[in-house]
Amino acid sequence: MENFDDAINKILLAAAIVSIVIGLIQHGWPEGMIEGTSIMIALLIIIVVNSGNNYLSERRLAELLALSDLQDVAVYRDSTEPTTMDASELVVGDLINFEMGMKVPADMIMVEGQNVQTIEGELTGEPDNMDKVPITVDNYQQEACGTMMAKSLICSGFGKAVVLAVGTRTVAGVITEKTQKPSEQTLLQEKLATIADKIGNVGTLVSALTFFAQIVRLLLEMYGYMECGTTNIFQQEHIEGCEPLSFVYDSSTENRFYMEILQAIIISITVIVVAIPEGLPLAVTISLSFSSAAMKKLNNLVRKLASSETMGGATHICSDKTGTLTLNKMTTMSLMTLNGQVHKMGNVVDNSLTTSCKAGT
């Protein structure tokens, strides 16, 4: 269904249905199915290639995420002895053991622990160590910080904690849902949408003019300004045995006027159908598929086929937190002394721009 978010695919589907109907009316079975079936086959290839690529990419991404989130946790559940299970199986109320180096699997409250510190950089972007203390009867009203957020890292200590929220109910899950937004169209998709709009507008205009011209021709013939049965106003020929046009409808015979009206409608619809370049989206889909396959060989996973155009042309990546792209650690790269010299990577470089330096800076 995501394929039909693209306007040109909707037009192709409508064109295929209309072509089949018109073909059956004009040429019957099976000759009338040729045009519409060819458009339907092209549309089917587009859908299969797009959906197949997106499905496989989503599966690979899900496997990578599952692998990165894979974590065994010691849980006390209806027993005094801990049971090891995957973190994804935790439920609210579970009591778990935690230790240094472990990633917090859910939002929890610490009930036992010693020298516990966590880093909540994935949530706040700040790599500072946060002290945590067990929540007890004595300190729970004194703003004791015993909350451990999912995705934070335990950098020291050990203890036990009770699970309060899991999955999308955690703070990290809520942040993820709030920050997600629908993907914008790529430049190529915008151009294809523009082409689809222009084809629709021009095709509809030409179709309307064609239908109007057919009606004018019929009216001119009906009122005697054209020979009966002639189709060219500039080269009129008298056709023997031609049935004059009239508005009278007789169910026992075919009225030529109404048959001509039906033919004018069919011609007008055909004008729109033949104007649609059914090979264009197919060619674009196949080329993007090859691009996506080439990028996968470079370990660049493209979730959506249309995104290969954007990812392939990326030159800069802008991020609001450097920690998401680096080690999330601050490193001293240079040092300025009080005499105006800059020490950089072990070398001393004169800094002529530094004229004065206050103590303590």
Res 352: pLDDT: 38
Query: What's phi and psi for 278, nearest 5 deg?
Result: -65, -20
Rounded to two decimals, the pTM is 0.48
- Going from the first residue of the chain to its last (361 residues), give the mean pLDDT of each consecutive group of 10, the final group possibly shorter: 76 81 79 82 83 77 70 85 86 90 89 87 78 81 82 88 89 83 74 79 87 85 73 70 68 66 79 74 77 77 71 72 62 74 50 38 35
Give the architecture-level CATH label for domain 72-179: Distorted Sandwich (2.70)
Handedness of CA 234, 237, 238, 243 (dihedral sign): negative
In this prediction, residue 326 carries a pLDDT of: 66
Instruction: Yes or no: say if 217 and 232 are a contact pair by the CB < 8 Å rule.
Output: no
Residues with catalytic function? 320
User: Over the range 239-278, which residues count as b (16 or more CB within 10 Å of their CB) and which as e?
Assistant: eeeeeebeeeeeeeeebbbeebeeebebebbbbbbebbeb
Determine whether 340 is exposed, middle or buried from the number of CB atoms within 10 Å of its CB (0-12, 13-18, 19+).
Answer: middle
Contact between 116 and 161 under an 8 Å Cβ cutoff? The reply is no
How many other C-beta atoms can be found within 10 angstroms of the C-beta atom of residue 341? 14
pLDDT of amino acid 361:
35
- pLDDT on residue 347: 43
Phi then psi for residue 63, to 5 deg, are: -65, -40
